Amino acid sequence: MSDSSTFHGWGRTAPSVGRPVTATANGVPHLVRRAGPRGLIARGLGRSYGDPAQNAGGDVLLPLPTEIGAVAADGTVRASAGTSLHDLMAALLPRGRFLPVTPGTRYVTVAGAIACDVHGKSHHRAGSFGAHVVDLDLVIASGETRTVGPDRDPDLFWATVGGLGLTGVITAATLRTIPVETAYAEVSTQRLPDLDAVMAEMREGDDAVTYSVAWIDTLARGAALGRSVLSRGEHATRELLGDRGDLLTPPAAPRLAVPFTPPVNLVGSLGVRAFNEAWFRKAPRHRTGEIQPLATFFHPLDGVAGWNRVYGPHGLVQYQFVVPDHEDAALVRILEQIAAARLPSFLAVLKRFGPGNDGPLSFPMAGWTLAYDVPAHPDLAPLLDGLDDQVVAAGGRVYLAKDSRLRAGLLPAMYPRLDELRAVREKVDPDRVFRSDLSRRLEI
């Protein structure tokens, strides 16, 4: 392996050069003890959009080898930190089990999902990934391995859940799983004419469904502001599917790939407006009972490997924030500014979160979260800086797994329990062995 590599996040906006290092779980303590002055950060599959999994001038630990244990009688499963959720689902589904929380891609590692405390369409019911971790093994700065969980060294556990790799290297975790009868979802789709309508529908109806998320047309303005396609689902039962052959076949690997980065951004504004219009119009007014493979329902983008390349050499930014439940007005104002900016975005989703957990750097909190993908462009900076201020004023925060540009000064207001994470780091990593471009940028 070469001595240095360029690392970037999924958005490809802020590359830096670090030293890739590899190890099995047993070799991690040695690597941690010998980390140089620029420290070490563990990396998963690089699906965070910004810079949490890179470390300019320092060590970047690549994912540990995949290892998946048997499903225990209580439905828990033990997996190595580097196991992808794709591989885990492939092992679980034939046994009639699934993960209670899956993000919008299954190409993330178990450790990456814990370190960002990822959420899925089930957050209002199931909470985030960390809520389903029974325990995890963590190599701290001294090289010692600690097994921690909600009942065992809870401060270190919760600092690690959402802690962006800054408390140590996770080497394995035990996770809870849920029973499923099939690898399909029963989906309902509803076209809603504006933001009020989609918010009212989610407020009234989400509690009764397991999975819920709305695609939003961020280019629609005026009376159509926030027009949406709301998609909800449940795990399909065996009875519903009848005789369809093997009902527990796991999702396949992608068959298509974007083979190289085109010299220009292919997500142009005219094309996106037409796409959004067509996407909205083609959605059924209200359809229920559609059967979709779980991969189609949860991970539609995983069908094309390397889709982020279509944004060209400058990459993309995903801006995701949450504001508390009662801050509807802030959400409306922010969406108005996004729509007025006319930036080409075909991927924007709205979700209603349930309550957050004890992780001081965990993102979810009860309220509304909007995730907005947009090509990187200098015009974005003033827009997003302005939105950050409004998010803070509303008592909300941005999601650090998606961030590459937040100003450090806003972090304590967004994450008021930041000092709890710092106190834990002071105890287990006083010399700050674990560092990343993000931790330096945000002065964590």
Ligand X SMILES: Cc1cc2nc3c(=O)[nH]c(=O)nc-3n(C[C@H](O)[C@H](O)[C@H](O)COP(=O)(O)OP(=O)(O)OC[C@H]3O[C@@H](n4cnc5c(N)ncnc54)[C@H](O)[C@@H]3O)c2cc1C
Contacts to ligand X by CB under 6 A? 10, 41-48, 52-53, 81, 103-105, 108-109, 111-113, 115-116, 118-120, 164-165, 169-170, 301, 401, 436
Q: Which is nearer to ligand X, 41 or 365 (CB)?
A: 41
Q: How far is the CB of 119 from ligand X (least distance, A)?
A: 4
Q: Which is nearer to ligand X, 120 or 344 (CB)?
A: 120
Q: How far is the CB of 245 from ligand X (least distance, A)?
A: 29
What residue number has its CB nearest to ligand X? 44
Closest CA to 179 of 69, 100, 294, 70: 100
Q: How far is the CB of 73 from ligand X (least distance, A)?
A: 27
Q: Which is nearer to ligand X, 108 or 247 (CB)?
A: 108
Q: Which is nearer to ligand X, 103 or 315 (CB)?
A: 103
Q: Which is nearer to ligand X, 247 or 415 (CB)?
A: 415
Closest CA to 416 of 324, 317, 320, 350: 324
Q: How far is the CB of 303 from ligand X (least distance, A)?
A: 11
Q: Which is nearer to ligand X, 185 or 247 (CB)?
A: 185
Q: Which is nearer to ligand X, 44 or 344 (CB)?
A: 44
Whole-angstrom Cα distance, residue 34 to residue 12? 29
CA–CA distances in Å: residue 48 to residues 118, 317, 401: 10, 11, 5
Q: Which is nearer to ligand X, 43 or 225 (CB)?
A: 43
Q: How far is the CB of 200 from ligand X (least distance, A)?
A: 23
For strands 16-21 and 178-179, give the pairing.
unpaired
Q: How far is the CB of 242 from ligand X (least distance, A)?
A: 31
Closest CA to 361 of 412, 299, 407, 435: 412
Residues 6+ apart with CB under 8 A from 16: 6, 7, 8, 51, 54, 55, 56, 57, 437
Q: How far is the CB of 301 from ligand X (least distance, A)?
A: 5
Q: Which is nearer to ligand X, 29 or 46 (CB)?
A: 46
Q: Which is nearer to ligand X, 41 or 317 (CB)?
A: 41
Closest CA to 415 of 164, 209, 242: 164
Q: Which is nearer to ligand X, 247 or 356 (CB)?
A: 356
